[in-house]
Structure 1
Amino acid sequence: MVDVVEVVEEQRFEARDADGSLLGISAYDAQGSTVVFTHTEVLPAAEGRGVGSGLVRGALDQVRASGRDVVALCPFVKAWIERHPEYQDLVRVPA
């Protein structure tokens, strides 16, 4: 289980463990009410533990709660959304 926090000033979501140690990030570009995910990275020591999935799920839950939508340029986020149809309503097709 990871805690996911949005760091608005750095335009990223962070996955942290119970001690607050950084496990991974999902960077985005804020464009009005749209969150354009550009890159997701999990620290090597945390790979294979579901951190990336927890990070994306937590980030998308926060995006939904704030009324924003998503453009998934990051291949990891895009693939994750494709595997989880319950999040596809958040996706905005870029113009």
Structure 2
Amino acid sequence: MSGPTAPSRYDFEYPDEAEHPGGKSTLSQDQTVLIDELLDNPHASASAADFEVVNDQKAGIYEATVGDREIAGLSYNVADDDRLVLLAISVFPEFRKKGIATELIRQVLDDVRAQGKTVTVMCPIVRTFIENNPEYAGLVDSKHPGVTKGPRRS
């Protein structure tokens, strides 16, 4: 007889409306690399001067660029006038482990705050960032928080 396993840094639960079977999802290797980056070096952050963040509202993505090259992005949907659904972050492999993900998430959440909006977090990497940076927890919409950490409570 074995007891429940302890939650790992890769255990996330999705709300029913996300339509993940059983409310759980297996993270990709790319996602685990970014979560490891956030958790293993939580204070690493690329300088804002290292890249520019542009909100492409038509495409629904905050793009991090160096010159004319996109190096990372955080996609989103507009849920209503007051809320964004943060879907997924990606960082090109050669730019990982440099704090790009951390700084991109920080700049996106700062922009959301400046607009007076809230977020629903469907991206486990963004959820991990917020859990480790509680000053951003107030941006998560209480009615639609999105993905959560650990086993679902009945």
User: What is the TM-score with the length of structure 1 in the denominator?
Assistant: 0.92
Q: How many equivalent pairs are there?
A: 94
Q: How does 1:24-43 map to 2 (within 5 A)?
A: 24-32=72-80, 33-43=82-92
Larger Rg: 2
- 1:59 maps to 108
Q: CA deviation at 1:72?
A: 0.7
| RMSD over equivalenced CA pairs, Å | 1.3
Unpaired stretches in structure 1, ≥5 consecutive residues: none
Q: How does 1:1-95 map to 2 (within 5 A)?
A: 1=47, 2-17=51-66, 19-32=67-80, 33-93=82-142, 94=144
CA deviation map 1:41-66 (0-9, x unaligned):
00111111111011100101111111
CA deviation map 1:13-62 (0-9, x unaligned):
11112x24211000011111111111110011111111101110010111
- Fraction of identical pairs, as percent: 30
Higher strand proportion (structure 1 or 2):
1
Moved >3 Å (runs of 4+): none
Instruction: Output the CA distance in 2 between the equivalents of 1:61 and 1:23.
Output: 20
Instruction: Output the CA distance in 2 between the equivalents of 1:67 and 1:30.
Output: 14
Unpaired stretches in structure 2, ≥5 consecutive residues: 1-46, 146-154
